[in-house]
């Protein structure tokens, strides 16, 4: 996964939080997130793409460890690419719904 990003890439999971910078930091963040999830399902639809930008709608669901809570996510992502097609900036926005239908 980290080969998709430039060495200095910025990854922003939340538009109001500081970005994670660089492949190693992005890898560490994803490894940490994955430790707490299982039965992960992901789907996407590309909304717009050109040489250096892409926008997609995505959905994901997973079971949270150790609580066994089922989580559903619905989001939008925007990626910026260098001329070689490697991601320099990745931003996403999402909404979360838990198994009982409550938004959090």
Q: Are 10 and 89 in contact (CB under 8 A)?
A: yes
- CA 104/CA 100 separation, integer angstroms: 11
- 64 domain-assigned: yes
Domain hosting 8: range is: 2-98
Radius of gyration of the chain (CA): 14
Q: What percent of the chain has pLDDT over 90?
A: 82
Average pLDDT over residues 20-24: 95
CB atoms within 10 A of CB 22: 17
Amino acid 17: pLDDT: 87
Q: What are phi and psi of 4, to 5 degrees?
A: -75, -15
Domain tally, the chain:
1
- CA 37/CA 63 separation, integer angstroms: 6
- 92 domain-assigned: yes
Q: What is the CATH number of the domain that holds 15?
A: 3.10.450.50
Q: How far out from the chain centre does Cα 62 lie?
A: 13
> Does residue 102 have a pLDDT over 60?
no
Amino acid 92: pLDDT: 95
- 7 domain-assigned: yes
- 103 domain-assigned: no
- 23 domain-assigned: yes
């Amino acid at each position: 996964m980290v080969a998709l990003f430039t060495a200095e890439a910025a990854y922003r999971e939340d538009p109001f939080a500081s970005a994670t910078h660089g492949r190693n930091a992005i890898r560490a963040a994803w490894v940490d997130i994955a430790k707490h999830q299982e039965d992960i399902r992901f789907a996407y639809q590309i909304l717009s793409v050109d040489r250096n930008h892409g926008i997609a709608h995505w959905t994901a669901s997973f079971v949270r460890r150790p609580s066994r809570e089922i989580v559903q996510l619905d989001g939008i992502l925007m990626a910026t690419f260098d001329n070689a097609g490697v991601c320099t900036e990745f931003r996403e926005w999402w909404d979360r719904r838990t198994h009982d239908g409550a938004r959090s």
